[in-house]
Amino acid sequence: MDPLHARYPFLAAARESVREADIGLVAIVTGDGRHPAVERGVERVRRALIDGTVRPDPETGRRWDARAELLSYPVARVLVSLVDAPGAVEKYASAEANTAYDRFTDDFRNPDDGLKSTSAKAISLDALLAEFDLASDVEELRDGYRIDVGRYLPLSSNLDGESWTLATRQLAGGTVKISAAELHELLREAVRQRVAAGLPTRVPDEIREGLTDEVAELEDTFSDVDFSQDIDVLAPDCFPPCVESLMERAQAGESLADHAEFALVSFLASANADTDELLALCGVDSDTTAKSVHYRAKRVGDESGAQYAPPSCETMQAYGECPVADDEDPTTDARCDSISHPLAYYEDALAEAGRAGE
């Protein structure tokens, strides 16, 4: 099994690999015990909806072979079609696209030189452009690229920011000038659109029944983070210690791990920060980091209002991001003893300060 397909399971060739694996979804979900592809599929959806990535959970340290990784993708698509969670499809597609983006930009920086082990096979820009039928519509220049305007528009229309509008672009001969970083953003969007296409999918009864336990397990996890109260005040002095700590680290220039950046951005978005406030509170000072945070900020609050909830205290503790639960130097905060979610802390602190609904 080609390890590249396990890293990029949305590729057309990866779909072919699944077909050639000659093991149907029914056999995977109804076999004895939980198939590794189902186990990984559950993790994929859980990570996508809670952490905004589908990378394996570093907390469990579990490694998946290429077969389980590849087969977990169709399982995850079925699971995300079955779970009852707000915005599940949109969050899942964004998380798959985010993970692919991290991987392909890394691959472009570190191309496969033929010496790498096969388990680290890289994808090239040319191959990815060809995958999305963009090869003849994107021309490389000395200082960036030109893309056919007819391809640019559907890929950029969902992206946030003035700079994506045609009015701010150099148009010539039916093409739009873009930078390399912008081309990568458009490719991320191409992945997101492909993953989202056809979701939610119709699930045959046999498969639905085979995944009853997994769907219940996922819904249980999400109920832990389903925090739906509206907060309409931004008051950083009322933030809980975990968020203060993440903000300080981000402002000091630390590159936060995916789960930490996600926790910070989703909290700030839930605490009513708009994109500019969010970038300022994260101390973003480089274009690349700004783009990453900007993208996350856009994705944590989607158009349907199905906003990502930030992780619960339990999840923050599991990630080692709760200063109150720090084994070596715990922060003391009485309010943390009475709540189970950072947003509950914030609401409580706002109420005590008489600032709720300001």
The CB-of-20 to ligand SF4 minimum distance in angstroms stands at 46
What does each C-alpha distance from 163 to 10, 83, 157, 166, 170 come to in angstroms? 28, 36, 11, 8, 11
Phi, psi dihedral angles at 287 (to 5 degrees): -60, -40
The CB-of-324 to ligand SF4 minimum distance in angstroms stands at 4
Q: Measured between alpha carbons, how far is 356 from 349 in angstroms, rounded to an integer?
A: 9
The CB-of-249 to ligand SF4 minimum distance in angstroms stands at 14
Cβ closest to ligand SF4, residue 9 vs residue 342: 342
In this structure, are residues 48 and 41 in contact, taking their beta carbons and an 8 Å threshold? no
In this structure, are residues 218 and 79 in contact, taking their beta carbons and an 8 Å threshold? yes
Q: Measured between alpha carbons, how far is 274 from 81 in angstroms, rounded to an integer?
A: 30
Q: Measured between alpha carbons, how far is 84 from 222 in angstroms, rounded to an integer?
A: 9
Cβ closest to ligand SF4, residue 106 vs residue 254: 254
The CB-of-296 to ligand SF4 minimum distance in angstroms stands at 19
Q: Which two tokens stand for residue 167?
A: 């009015």
In this structure, are residues 310 and 263 in contact, taking their beta carbons and an 8 Å threshold? yes
Cβ closest to ligand SF4, residue 180 vs residue 324: 324
Cβ closest to ligand SF4, residue 22 vs residue 237: 237
Phi, psi dihedral angles at 147 (to 5 degrees): -125, 140
Burial tier of 275 (Cβ tally within 10 Å: 0-12, 13-18, 19+): middle
The CB-of-314 to ligand SF4 minimum distance in angstroms stands at 8
Cβ closest to ligand SF4, residue 119 vs residue 223: 223
Cβ closest to ligand SF4, residue 28 vs residue 316: 316
- Identify any residues that bridge with 145 across adjacent strands, giving them in sequence order: 140, 178
Cβ closest to ligand SF4, residue 243 vs residue 279: 243
Longest Cα separation, the chain: 64
The CB-of-97 to ligand SF4 minimum distance in angstroms stands at 28
Contacts with ligand SF4 by CB under 6 A lie at 240-242, 313, 316, 322-324, 333, 336, 342, 345
The CB-of-226 to ligand SF4 minimum distance in angstroms stands at 16
The CB-of-235 to ligand SF4 minimum distance in angstroms stands at 15
44: Cα separation from own chain's centroid: 10
Cβ closest to ligand SF4, residue 10 vs residue 239: 239
Indicate the Cα dihedral angle 127, 51, 46, 298, nearest 10°. Answer: -70
